[in-house]
Amino acid sequence: MRYWMSQINPYLEILGVSKRFGATQALDNVHLALYPGEIHALLGENGAGKSTLIKTMTGIHQPDSGAILVDGMNVSINSSAEAQRYGIAAIYQEPLVFPDLNIAENIFISHRNRGAFMNWGKLYRDAEAVLQKLDVQLDVRAQARGLALAAQQTVEIAKAISMNVRVLIMDEPTASLSAHEVEQLFRIIYNLREQGVAILFISHRMDEVFKIADRITVFRDGQFISSHPAGETTPEQAIKDMVGREMGEIFTKEPSDQGDPVMSVRNLTLPGTYSNINFDVHAGEVLGVAGLVGSGRTDVALALFGIEPAEYGQIMLNGMPVDIKSPKQAIELGIAYVPEDRRQHGLILELSIAKNITLPKLNAYAEMGLVQESNEAMVAEQYRQQFSIRTPDVKLHAGKLSGGNQQKVVLSKWLNTNPRLLILDEPTRGIDVGAKEEVHRLISDLAQQGIAILMISSDLPEVLAMSDRIMVMREGRQMGIFSREEADQEVIMTAAMGRVKLDEGGVF
């Protein structure tokens, strides 16, 4: 029996909480109960209210109405410091560690009662004791700068433990982790559950949710929809609750007529990163690129877009050799690149939707050397309608949009350059199932229009469903290219783990 099942009352309870921002009702009379020793998953599309709820629980926002109960007492959480005093902490997809401090300093950075002079011996011993609670071994004297993402998350969890955390909120903690790192994180989460910590786990990865959660709650459009013990619901029912309709298992790319090669790559090499990469991608084709973390997939994409050019090899566009040394040159040649991290590299969050969409070709919207906002707005409005970007106004800052809608803006931005080749790096990472289906339909439509698409993805069902052919990479080497008929999950994973032999050209 779980520890939480023996408890009469939850440690943290949200009762009828509502929150409005202007015309947007972010939360509408929602409720949630978190029990000690329970892993409680919260599901919902982007824009369902999950982030607003987190910020309300951690003191960043205050509710317009409703109540927050901690240990049965009605409380007001008006700052992150107050949330900390109640034992409420949150960790996010991108950990907030100080790279120039060591691990011990990062763990205790929020403590204000360690005296006027630092007792380094005690600091290191206390940090090691906290990590021991998590059954984790890290060098507490090591700088945080060199830590892998999974280790940074462990430091964030240790920081929360050091503050006597009672409720740990984890927002998309596995989005950037490898399968092995996910298993390590889950081991830590199970450990925390056994210690009686209430865990709120937020993820778009349905398989992970049903593997780890004790209870699953669904929000939609800022409203509470359902809450069930994990064993009493199914992924299909959860998805239906999230999107408000039945959905197929996964969208599959529609057939498209393929033309001549748009891009041909021969023996592309960047020593120490990747070597002897060979492929063609045709007009109307989706060439999927699969591989484990560190396989070099993104590095090849960066070379094709001129961000980090290769040292050796040849790139040809429509049969003509090209030497791509900058993104500006790549854009002029008809290449567009949708990066993996849309918030850091795909958008300028403080600019409007319209300005983000028109940014790569500003001259097209200028008169007498001045950019005309009316011209920008007209083009952006066309994309808003075409891609169903959920916003009342294209003048709204891109940072205000949900993840799925931000991804549509990034796609609009690069499609506005009229590319012949579109490179998509993790096109559906961190977006909900409804938005994912829309992006898949868009990719299929673009291929039918004759655009050549190179799609990098860690989502194996996505690669199999959306690709005409699949290139597999491992540790900077090309392990093979498989037709749609040849490929299945076992074939792709076997190649990604290095268990296939290359033929002379590196293509099967």
Task: Rounding to the nearest 10 degrees, give the CA dihedral for residues 172, 175, 177, 182.
Answer: 50
Q: What is the pLDDT of residue 328?
A: 93
Residue-wise pLDDT for 403-456, tens only, equals: 788 889 999 999 999 999 999 999 987 777 777 888 899 999 999 999 999 999
User: How many beta carbons lie within 10 A of that of residue 318, not counting itself?
Assistant: 15
131, 137 contact by CB (below 8 A): yes
User: How many beta carbons lie within 10 A of that of residue 332, not counting itself?
Assistant: 11
Residue-wise pLDDT for 244-271, tens only, equals: 755 454 567 888 889 999 999 999 999 9
315, 265 contact by CB (below 8 A): yes
Residue-wise pLDDT for 73-98, tens only, equals: 999 999 988 998 999 988 887 778 88
Structural tokens at position 329: 């040159």
Structural tokens at position 461: 């069902």
| Max Cα distance, the chain (Å) | 73
Evaluate if residue 4 carries a pLDDT over 70.
Answer: no
Q: What is the pLDDT of residue 113?
A: 65
Please give the Cα distance from 38 to 14 (Å, whole number). Answer: 16
Evaluate if residue 104 carries a pLDDT over 70.
Answer: yes
Residue whose tokens read 């939707």: 353
Residue-wise pLDDT for 134-182, tens only, equals: 888 889 898 888 788 778 888 888 888 888 889 999 888 887 677 777 8
424, 455 contact by CB (below 8 A): yes
- 141 Cα distance to chain centroid: 30
CA 482, 484, 485, 487 dihedral sign is positive
Interacting residues of 180 by C-beta distance below 8 A, sequence separation 6+: none
pTM higher than 0.75, yes or no?
Answer: no
The DSSP symbol for 64 reads S
Interacting residues of 369 by C-beta distance below 8 A, sequence separation 6+: none
